Amino acid sequence: MDFSRTVLVTGGSGFIGSHLVCSLVNRHPDWRIINLDNLDYCCSPRSLESVEDKANYTFIRGDVCNPRLLGHIFSTENIDVVFHLAAKTHVESSFVTLSAFQWVNIEGTRVLLGAAHRAQRRPQRFIYASTDEVYGASLHEVFDESSPLTPSNPYAATKAAAEYLVRSYWDEYKFPVIITRSNNIYGPRQHTEKVIPRFLTLLQNNKKCTIQGTLPKSRHFLYVDDAVDAFLKVLERGTVGEVYNVGTSCEIPIMQLAGELIKMVKNIPDSELNDWLEFVPDRPRVDLRYPISSEKLQQLGWRAEVSWAEGIRHTVKWYQDNPDFWSGASNEQGPIRSEPGNNSSQYVASSVP
């Protein structure tokens, strides 16, 4: 089958990546969608079961830091669009294993950019998924795309550094990059290290929600379907060389979040909420909130459509219906087959730093 466009998604077996891949595969049967993922602990092949037999989907197990692999992909696949989502994202871990975050988030971006830039057929778009955390925290100021980057944790610092690499390819070569910076994204299939699935998993196991520290932290939560729509809107209408915030007005204090989830899962009155809360030490550095403006993206026609009530209800139901999704998940890819409709490939090339 001849495809009109070939799209490479790095980190396509992760939470956001798998939702993006499924949307692309189903919305655009005339596009070939290639998922490059090394199936780290926070990824699961099960996230893509609904598309693994589609003729326009190809899985490549491999490391975005591997220059040999990336060179091979760009020399043989005629990539038109790159969505770069592969990254280490767990903030707490970044304080402990900073070198791993530097390797994947910075070096991986450098390798990918280099391979894409050197390709005989240059991609038409290179979309880099960053985070609102690159701005640092603010109690009152709302960050827009021109706000300075002042990251305050190692994870955010590596994402900001990768942004500078991406931007340098636009400045030096006019390579067609676009950067997105999003709020906290939530929804089905998110790994249990993140706050919403962590609380849900604890409650489902009759354990208390663990609240880090006592400061009044809050986060803006964006449902994953709205995040995917933002990526597709940026691909369709975004201007190369630009940055787009992807945010929501839905700001939820973490204590309120825990209370809502406790009531939804345990069906108890407000008077018993404290029985399901446990305060634990905070991480070394914590930002209280990340308010961003998405007016620039909204001018392209994007709006967050899923309300908090609808999104969290759907998310809770998914985790209740799939309690063993992560506990039973394996990051081992099954048999490698290449027949049409199950287009999996595996490259064995060392990428150990």
The string of pLDDT tens digits covering residues 316-335 is: 999 999 998 987 554 443 33
Instruction: Give how many domains the chain has, as a whole number.
Output: 1
Residue 37 has pLDDT above 50, yes or no: yes
Single out the catalytic residue among 52, 80, 107, 133: 133
Residue 214 has pLDDT above 50, yes or no: yes
In a domain, 213, yes or no: no
Residue 45 has pLDDT above 90, yes or no: no
Q: pLDDT class for 261, splitting at 50, 70, 90?
A: very high
Q: pLDDT class for 287, splitting at 50, 70, 90?
A: confident
In a domain, 179, yes or no: yes
AA letter at 283: R
Is 132 a catalytic site residue?
Answer: yes
pLDDT on residue 143: 95
CB 16 within 8 A of CB 180: no
pLDDT on residue 337: 29
Query: Average pLDDT for residues 221-239, to the nearest whole number?
Result: 98
pLDDT on residue 213: 81
Single out the catalytic residue among 107, 132, 225, 229: 132
Q: Which domain holds residue 13?
A: 5-186+223-247+286-305+331-346
In a domain, 234, yes or no: yes
Residue 254 has pLDDT above 60, yes or no: yes
pLDDT on residue 328: 54
Mean pLDDT for all residues in the chain: 90
Residue 19 has pLDDT above 90, yes or no: yes
Is 229 a catalytic site residue?
Answer: no
Query: Average pLDDT for residues 11-31, to the nearest whole number?
Result: 97
Beta-carbon contacts of 160 under 8 Å, excluding residues fewer than 6 positions away, are 130, 134, 149, 151
- Tell me the CATH number at 100: 3.40.50.720
Residue 339 has pLDDT above 90, yes or no: no
Q: pLDDT class for 259, splitting at 50, 70, 90?
A: very high
In a domain, 271, yes or no: no
CB 191 within 8 A of CB 256: no
In a domain, 260, yes or no: no
Residue 281 has pLDDT above 90, yes or no: no
Residue 340 has pLDDT above 90, yes or no: no
In a domain, 134, yes or no: yes
Q: By mean pLDDT, which of 151-155, 187-191, 247-251, 331-335 is the weakest?
A: 331-335
In a domain, 24, yes or no: yes
Is 52 a catalytic site residue?
Answer: no
Q: Any idea which residue has 């304080």 for tokens?
A: 95
Single out the catalytic residue among 128, 135, 155, 223: 155
In a domain, 101, yes or no: yes
